[in-house]
Each structure stands twice: as C-alpha cells, then as structure tokens.
Amino acid sequence: MNKLKSFIVFVISFTIAGSVYSQTVTTKKETARIKGENQDGYATDLEGNTDNINSAFVKYLKTFGKVKQTSDYITLTEATINGKTYQQPIYGVIKSKDKGAQAWVGINPKEWSADGDEISKHFETLVHDFGVQFYRDKIQEQIDESNRALSAVERQQQRFSNQNRDLNMKLEDNKREKIQLEKSLVDNKTEYETLLKKIEKNKKDQDSLITSNEQIKKVIEAQKARQGKVN
C-alpha cells in the first residue's frame, strides 16, 4: 500500500512538473553544417532528451522516404512530400541545446535542380509538424503512465472492497459466536476488537484511495486538455 501511494505521488508530481514548459512549437530559419558546408533550412527547438528527440526525428522522417543516419546528419532520399516524390537528398540534423535539442531540415542547393526552391517551401511545415508530434507523443506517454497508476488504484479499491465484505462477514460470525460461546469470552473479545480495528483501517485505506483516484482522473483530464492545445 505504501509503495502504491509513493508511485501515485510520483506520477502526479511528474505530470505537474511536465506542464511547466510551453507546448507551442515555433520554427525559424537556421543553418547546419552538411558535408563541410553551411546550408540553409528550417529548425525547431525542443525540450527533452537529445537521444529521444533524435530517435523520434528519424522515425518521423522515415514516414516520408528512405533514411540513413551518420554521426553528423540524417539523409532522406526518395522522399514523398505533399504528394510528390523527390530523388535528391534532404538532410536532417539534431543539435544539442541547453534544455534539449534542435531539429533541422534542409538541402544542398547544388544537388538539386529547379525542384530545390519547391521542396524548401515545405521544410517549415515539416519541422513544425515534427515538433507537434514529438510533444503530443511525450504527453501521451504521461497519459499512459497515469492510466497505469489509475488502474493500479482501481485494482486496490476492488481488493479492499472484497476484503471489507469478508471482514464484515467474519464480524457477523464473531457476534453470533460471542453469544454462543460465553466460556471463551476473553479470547472472543480480543478477536472482535482486532477485526474492528482492521475494518477501521480498511475504511481509511479506501478513503485514501478514493482521493487518489479523483486526483489522477483530474491529472489525466488536464493532460488531455494540454495535448489538445499543442499547435
């Protein structure tokens, strides 16, 4: 029971702390070093673990085409964007920042023909959509964690409810036994008082779980509301 309470407190505290940073995704023109040359592109700054952001970025880019990652940059080829497939390479870079990382997308104009200007128009939307998806997925992980905590509380509630029913049945049996067994009054009285204490403890435990249940439900609703506000 104490471990469960500690887990619930951790989930609520973690979720509240996670709601501090802004969920609004912004983009900006930025340069990145590709094959020894600075190239123009668009980027978005994200809060989180750099490795997690990199993994999410690679997974996101794979939805457009073939992806290959080196130590310096990510190469996207045969990309289908806005219904059109491009053979020339698109580059992605993850740069570490103080509070997370920056996801950048761009091209080397020398590797492109007239399509270079056309594809570049999509990069701002591309990195913005990635940022939105990253934060939504991050919040979804928190929602999933809270739902697991809620399930654990509900299982405990059911267990204590069953226990309460059993204890009350035993208490009724004890009352009848108390009347019938006058000779064992002393032992019977001890057991009777013990059961009353257990029932009182059970009631307190149930009251505590009811409070925790409501808190977690409010947290989940708040998380879902924040998720819907990501833009």
Residue 128 and residue 157 in one domain: no
Last residue of a domain, one of 72, 104, 138: 138
Which pLDDT value is given to residue 20?
41
Tens of pLDDT, residue by residue over 9-65, are 655 665 555 544 457 899 999 999 999 999 999 999 999 999 999 999 999 999 999
Confidence class for position 3, pLDDT limits 50, 70, 90: low
Residue 129 and residue 193 in one domain: no
Residue 111 and residue 174 in one domain: no
pTM, two decimals, is 0.69
Residue 171 and residue 217 in one domain: yes
Residue 77 and residue 127 in one domain: yes
In the chain, the number of structural domains is 2
Which pLDDT value is given to residue 28?
96
Which pLDDT value is given to residue 191?
83
Percent over 70 (pLDDT), the chain:
89
Which pLDDT value is given to residue 99?
85
Residue 189 and residue 161 in one domain: yes
**Which residue segment(s) compose the domain that 109 sits in?**
22-138
Which pLDDT value is given to residue 117?
87
Last residue of a domain, one of 69, 104, 138: 138
Nearest to 31 by CA among 119, 74, 95, 86: 95
Residue 28 and residue 125 in one domain: yes
Tens of pLDDT, residue by residue over 183-229, are 766 776 788 889 899 999 999 989 888 889 999 999 999 899 888 88
Confidence class for position 68, pLDDT limits 50, 70, 90: very high
Residue 155 and residue 116 in one domain: no
Q: What is the CATH number of the domain that holds 44?
A: 3.30.310
Last residue of a domain, one of 77, 106, 138: 138
Which pLDDT value is given to residue 55?
96
Separation of alpha carbons 228 and 173, rounded Å? 55
Residue 30 and residue 115 in one domain: yes
Separation of alpha carbons 178 and 188, rounded Å? 6
Residue 114 and residue 33 in one domain: yes
| CA 153 to each of CA 132, 147, 163, 213: distance values in angstroms, whole numbers, following the listed order | 31, 10, 15, 7
| CA 11 to each of CA 62, 91, 113, 143, 217: distance values in angstroms, whole numbers, following the listed order | 32, 38, 52, 10, 12
Tens of pLDDT, residue by residue over 127-175, are 999 999 999 999 999 999 999 999 999 999 999 999 999 999 999 988 8
Separation of alpha carbons 172 and 166, rounded Å? 10
Residue 79 and residue 118 in one domain: yes
